[in-house]
Chain A
């Protein structure tokens, strides 16, 4: 079971801070725009996510939530 980064598409402002902060380099600005016209961040490979939450820590817009898979899930 993978850890999970939930992305709130409409809150993302494409600032790129999470992309910069992710130690696994698995976040990237995608090619889909939200209703405000911002190109939203995307998770490239959830299986590599270690749920460090650096992305959610540095996100200024509450656009990211991080969950860790529990044993046995």
Chain B
């Protein structure tokens, strides 16, 4: 028989602790597959955040560093400047990358750090029990916006990849989703391009991935996909927001 989709060596055998239907597992698999396919596992250092995925050190087969909340990009910067020959990625949720870690994310983009950030946006703070995130939608009820996010007093969702695409040092910025098999395949393509940008030494690469949190949204996993499709996708810019410019003026 021909293997069509089997377990990747980029992930360990440890079962995931994530909630049923949480899309972290899908994204982990895509990263693991790419590390294997691009022969990167032994050269990779991943930086884990604080959040539900704060335990992902145990799931990826490569060396991993656990950063403080919001500081994964600074840790990755320190590591990459120390070992420019290594492939270094950060894996962060919306709090880690866009709230407490916003300064580090934007500064690394400005400096064009040769690292890759994977930003998992589920419009909520999952691990701490469902508080409002900078990406939460107007009207969205969370434990710290129990009457719904009120734009007047709590502002609007932050579209981080859109902002980063304005920064010169960020040479590949993509916004993708994992809400269907087709989208998952597109997400993997974007991640592969982001990884290649780092390998080519071009600058900072950033892939934002729209994701679900069935538990804290209070819906089942399939309903969560629908909420992502109907509510999140219209809010955030999607697609390849920035791609490296090739010599001669044509975009690659």
Contacts and interface: CB of A to CB of B under 8 A. Distances in A.
Direct A–B touching, Cβ under 8 Å = yes
Interface of A: 3-4, 10-11, 13-17, 20-21, 38, 51-54, 56-62, 64-70, 73
Interface string B11-48: 10001101111111110010000000000000000000
A70 B4 CA distance: 11
Interface stretch (B110-118, B218-226, B243-251): B218-226
B81 interface: no
Nearest to A56: B5
A15 B20 contact: yes
Contacts of B82: none
B25 A59 contact: yes
Contacts of B184: 57-58
Given A17-B21, A38-B20, A62-B29, A69 B181 contact: no
Contacts of B20: 13-15, 38
B15 A20 contact: no
B24 A20 contact: no
A21 B180 contact: yes
Given A68-B2, A68-B4, A54 B181 contact: yes
Contacts of B18: 60-61
Contacts of B15: 10-11, 61
B2 A16 contact: no
Given A11-B15, A60-B18, A69-B2, 14 more contacts: A15-B21, A15-B214, A17-B221, A17-B225, A52-B181, A54-B181, A57-B26, A58-B181, A61-B15, A65-B3, A65-B5, A66-B3, A67-B3, A73-B1
A67 B25 contact: no
Which of A58, A65, A73 gathers most chain B CB within 10 Å? A58
Contacts of B233: none
A60 to B, nearest CB: 3
Contacts of B4: 51, 53, 56, 66-68
Of A11, A17, A61, A73, most buried by chain B (CB within 10 Å of CB) is A17
